[in-house]
Structure 1
Amino acid sequence: MNDRRIKWMILLIPTLTIGLWEYIRHAFLLPYMTMDLGNLLAPFIVLAVTLTLVRGLFVRLESSQRALQRQRSRGAALEERERLAAELHDGIAQSLFLLAVKLDRLDAAADEPARRELAGQLRETVRDVHEDVRQAIARLRLPPEASQHDWAEPLRECLGETAALTEAEAEFRWDIPEELLGIKEKIELHACLREALVNVRKHARAGNVYVLGECSPDGGFRCAVMDDGIGFAGNPLEAPGRFGLRMVRERALRMGWTFAAERREGMTVIELIKKGANIHRQPMEGAAR
């Protein structure tokens, strides 16, 4: 028996009980029972039925609610584990892979200037790994309820950290309702936008950074990380050391989103679009200006 049926039975049983009692009293017991006695017995009969049938229904309803809460808790725990795994994969695992590649290059370097340059790059990568680990630990120390009140709040915090580290001005505009996004979309979108902000932190030298999100009338959305930094030299997806953007593109393609990394009117734009019938670009670009 589902919860809805249990609730209806809890509502209807007392009503049906008093109706049935009145019918029996008037049809069969009226010659043997006074009106005052019948009225006096009515609430006790309803109470007896409530203590037997309705109380049992309440117990079943409470049990069902507890089971539902346990299921939601397990789902939230699995979602958090998947989000953490994605962050570790995108941040720490990626940096460690890059560290291994640079170590191989250091072993193969023949001259001393090349070795010094690679050694400097290794130190920078180690610092990036340390920063990723520090942020992951800090997020694990936050109470789980913090992310439940506002799913976009971790994105705002990540933007704030990026702005603080780069001494840039930050702007966060997010108009996408949480219910518009599925669990998988939230995880992937958070990972992609976080990686785009890490890219700004490492390469952009920006004075202004924006995280923008808007929904389209057909149920899609458009998100972007924008900055006024130095921009790309050539194709950023082919540049050495830009593993993060390539991973963002792969994630977007797996989700069926459109990915773009380009310069627009003096701004570097990393953009994700869930395709719809009519995607509006102008409001977001105008907001950045």
Structure 2
Amino acid sequence: MRNRDRRIKWLILWIPTITIGLWEYIRHAFLLPYMTMELGNFLAPFIVLAVTLALVPGLFRRLEESQEALRREKTTNAALEERERLARVLHDGIAQSLFLLAVKLDQLDRTASDEPVRKLAAELRQTVRDVNDDVRQAIANLQQPPSAEEAAWVVPLRQLLGETAGVLEAKAEFRWSIPDDGLTNKEKVELHACLREALVNVRKHAKASEVLVVGEPTPQGGFRCAVEDDGVGFPGDPLASPGRFGLRMVRDRARRMGWTFAAERRGRRTVVELTKEGKRDA
């Protein structure tokens, strides 16, 4: 990538020089009988400008895209290195301490003669083993590349879904597959606000037993995000109901972003949906 960036920079520098050189060669080799020196000198800067405007902006775009990809790669690598560091800390610190604690409890179990003490030691040993399993699972998760669901801005949505399901004593499902680099920072902010408001609306009004948050890319390069529940639904038009300021806010945010907004009953489910159309094939 760095070699390509270097080639692009050299092209940007050399294009005016090569253009003026080619123009002078063509003028002296082919156009001199038909063109005065004054006219040739007058046309030279306009020709250089025209060629530069035709070629250099595309090269600048490619250079900016390459540098943006390099920044994303550095950010991803930094995140992976931090996850690996945390995995090492867990393994070398907490996991080893839990293992030694389990060994000590085994020794206590073998030497203790009092039955209540042996029983307590066995219970503690099982608890330590359960915690140790959790820690090792966390280490394994940290050593794997993060998924779309683990993006920093997505995590609070998943937590809010869990809290909402806890209040309603409902089943929660979180399905998120939109890649983090598939959204701009503004889109992330607006999506977070819209989905959060939709979840708050479910908590206040739905009386649901199942709640689903879904975010998925579309084949055309857009996305679909929705909050779905099997609750009581909307009495008529939800946007016309008094007090539904949250849904109207979501609709207005979606309109400003150029997204499609829907709040409706689909079968047994109530759906609040945001859709971004991707680029269509010509």
Query: TM (normalized to structure 1)?
Result: 0.45
Query: TM (normalized to structure 2)?
Result: 0.46
